[in-house]
Amino acid sequence: MSSGRHHWSNASPPARLWKINAVAGLPLLALILHPGWWTLGVALSVCTFLVYIELVKKITFEIFLRYVNIWLTGRVKTTLNIVKKQLFR
């Protein structure tokens, strides 16, 4: 039997390779499929960035993408439907 109050809340943890999220391994797969110095540099820099946001910032990649979305679009979203207002005047 599982222990703790909310045993169901951790039912699907992210795939990990030791402590690093498995998403950081995708650039290495690109390096294997398309070897080259340029690809090596891109793969190492992307892996370094993903490990940085995972281990240093203590956030997942999905949460980082949410932060970027909020930074680009802002917190307050409009409810005005511009297309509907212009079509049905």
Is there a contact between 50 and 42 (Cβ–Cβ < 8 Å)?
no
pTM: 0.64
Per-residue pLDDT at 84 exceeds 70 = no
Number of domain units in the chain: 1
Q: Give the confidence band of 74 by pLDDT, cuts at 50, 70, 90.
A: confident
Boundaries of domain holding 56: 12-87
- Could you tell me how far CA 64 lies from the centroid of its own chain? 6
Do the domain assignments include residue 47?
Answer: yes
What pLDDT sits at residue 42? 92
Instruction: List beta partners, residue 20.
Output: 17
Quick one: 25 exposed, middle or buried, by C-beta within 10 A (0-12, 13-18, 19+)? middle
Mean pLDDT throughout 22-50? Answer: 89
Do the domain assignments include residue 20?
Answer: yes
User: Looking up tokens 């390096």, which residue turns up?
Assistant: 31
Instruction: List beta partners, residue 16.
Output: 21
Do the domain assignments include residue 6?
Answer: no
Do the domain assignments include residue 32?
Answer: yes
Do the domain assignments include residue 37?
Answer: yes
Is there a contact between 42 and 27 (Cβ–Cβ < 8 Å)?
yes
Q: Give the confidence band of 62 by pLDDT, cuts at 50, 70, 90.
A: confident
